[in-house]
Copies of this chain bind each other. A is one copy, B any other.
Amino acid sequence: MEKFEINIFGCGAALPTPRRLSSAQIVNIREKLFMLDCAEGTQMALRRSHLSFSHLQAIFLTHLHGDHTFGLLGMLSTFGLLGRIQDLHIYGPKDLQRIFQPQIDYFCADSPYKIFLHEIDTRTPQTIYEDRSVCISTLPLAHRVPCCGYLFSEKPTPRHIRRDMIDFYHIPISQINNIKAGMDWIDEDGTLIPNNRLTTPPDPVRSYAYCTDTTYRPQLAELLQGVTCLYHEATFTQEHALLAKKTYHSTAAQAAQIALDAHARQLVIGHFSSRYKSEDLLLQEAQQIFPQTLLAEDGMRITL
């Protein structure tokens, strides 16, 4: 299967520590890299990951709180110093340009590449990026400031050719793409060879959803039906459900409920409040509702 990997650089809440950065991830789809949020220290984590800086296509910011954006300027500046020349596109809510354009103009004035800031309306789901292999769309979230999650949906891949059958029926190379696309074959005797004799099914289509920061939003599950992997914030335990509501965050149980309702394959919880000495409480709370739950960790790599 083609590569579809999530690299978690940081999964802490507002206060970064030497042990845990705030929010930042890289989604690696066939060596194209997409960044989700960019907390302070992201450029160092990116270096540590040995992912190629130059393969970064775009950056998607969920919202403009510092624990999701304070690493942006330093990283953009470093890209310039390292001689990046490809354009870089940054997506984020309202105010993205007002807040970051003056900083970019000041600190990246000599950078040899162009940075494009795209403000998105976080209130309705929309497709904001598309290429041959992936479609990226927004997921409305409810936080104290405009905020959205992002859904990465792999595009269907062609069926796999059975080399032995192609040889057996002497099918010319010119027809291979049609066969991959599902076409049957009629041989010299006029016999129809059904496609499923010539091919095996395509790889299953995978998807990844990144949902942070948000209060519990039951309707989010509708947009996530069948998602392969869901990253959902779980800042608090149910004990602090009122605080979660007040600060527009979620509890581990609420994250699990979303995963359950969305029929997700896997849930990864993150954005842990630093009040918890161990996150095991959060994990147990989520697993009681949705057993296929993992705790995010800085440096974790998840292969879909």
Contacts and interface: CB of A to CB of B under 8 A. Distances in A.
A99 interface: yes
Interface string A73-96: 110011001100000000000010
A107 interface: yes
Given A66-B74, A77-B66, A106-B99, A18 B40 contact: no
Contacts of A242: none
Contacts of A64: 106
Given A66-B73, A73-B70, A14 B81 contact: yes
A15 interface: yes
Interface string A38-73: 001101110110000000000000001111001101
Nearest to A77: B66
Stoichiometry (number of copies): 2
Q: Which of A47, A67, A71, A74 has the most CB of B within 10 A?
A: A74
A69 to B, nearest CB: 8
Q: Name A's interface SS.
A: helix
A40 B99 contact: no
Q: Which of A17, A66, A81 has the most CB of B within 10 A?
A: A66
Contact of A44 (B41, B74, B106): B41
B74 A16 contact: yes
A54 to B, nearest CB: 15
A44 B66 contact: no
A80 to B, nearest CB: 10
Interface residues of A, number: 30
A102 B103 CA distance: 10
A77 B70 contact: yes
A44 B16 contact: yes
Q: Which of A43, A70, A103 has the most CB of B within 10 A?
A: A70
A65 B108 CA distance: 10
Contacts of A99: 102-103, 106
Interface string A199-233: 00000000000000000000000000000000000
Interface of A: 14-18, 40-41, 43-45, 47-48, 64-67, 70-71, 73-74, 77-78, 81-82, 95, 99, 102-103, 106-107
11 contacts: A14-B78, A15-B78, A15-B82, A16-B44, A18-B45, A41-B44, A64-B106, A66-B73, A70-B77, A95-B106, A102-B102
**A-B interface, 4 closest residue pairs, ranked by CB to CB distance from nearest:** A70-B74, A40-B74, A66-B77, A18-B48
